Homo-oligomer: A and B are copies of this chain.
Amino acid sequence: MARDLDIRVAIIEDDETIREGYAYLIGNTEGYKVTGTYPSYEDAARKIAHDDPDVLLLDVELPGISGIDALPKLKKILPEAYILILTVYEQEDLIFRALGSGASGYLTKNTPHEKIIAAIHEVMEGGGPMSAHIARMVISSFKRNEETPLTRRETEILEHISIGKSRKRIAQELFIDLETVKSHIKNIYHKLNVHSKADAIKAARDNKFI
């Protein structure tokens, strides 16, 4: 058996039972090798560079520095490693912070063992493993609201505003008069019941009109 082609996996998880459970599972699966297990980020930081894992399973609730905050630091220590979040939490803000910080996947802890192995394999093959519910939330985050009160043109103009363009510039880019842009903006403000750019953008974003 080609030991040197094994996928090298490290685990950062404070609960010893869970940590050793994963280590046992992965260590006893052919093609996978556990290079290290750590109960906290602080512990991992010292040894993990030497252990050089391909994939890192990371818990979000850790003593000391949280998994989320540890993520960018771990990314710096191991720029090439894939980091998979393993957690019980399914809060949107946590998920998006983790993905924004460079996590390559997000699994909930009820994930059956064979799926964890599959996820490690998948991330090595260029995939982005997620638990079903997480995937749904991620997809939903892209979904626009069809019930927008804004017309197509108004939506278009609000989008330009939302990237900081001035009315004059919008007018130029859309080949319409500045007065027309102003007119649309007035209508947008009325419909959204706001009196400023910032509030219009916020209202539209919150309601997924843009």
Binding site for B on A (CB under 8 A): 72, 75-76, 96, 99-105, 122, 125-130, 132-133, 135-140, 142-144, 146, 161-166, 169, 196-198, 200-202, 205
A101 contacts across to B, CB distance below 8 A: 143-144
CB closest chain-B residue, reference A79: B146
Task: Give the residue name and chain of the B residue nearest to A135 (CB).
Answer: B128
> Which residue of chain B has its CB nearest to the CB of A138?
B138
CA distance A101 to B202 in the complex (A): 20
* Given the contacts A132-B122, A136-B128, A169 and B198 also touching, CB distance less than 8 Å: yes
Say whether B122 contacts A127, CB under 8 Å: no
Shortest CB-to-CB span from A107 to chain B, Å, is 12
Interface pair A139/B104, CB less than 8 Å apart: yes
Contact A198 B164 (CB under 8 A): yes
Chain A at the B interface: SS class:
helix
A144 and B100 contact, CB distance less than 8 A: yes
27 A-B residue contacts at CB 8 Å? A72-B146, A75-B146, A99-B139, A101-B143, A101-B144, A103-B139, A104-B136, A104-B139, A105-B139, A122-B132, A126-B136, A127-B132, A127-B133, A127-B135, A128-B135, A128-B138, A128-B140, A129-B135, A130-B130, A130-B139, A138-B138, A162-B163, A162-B164, A163-B198, A163-B205, A164-B197, A164-B202
Cα(A164)–Cα(B76), bound, Å = 32
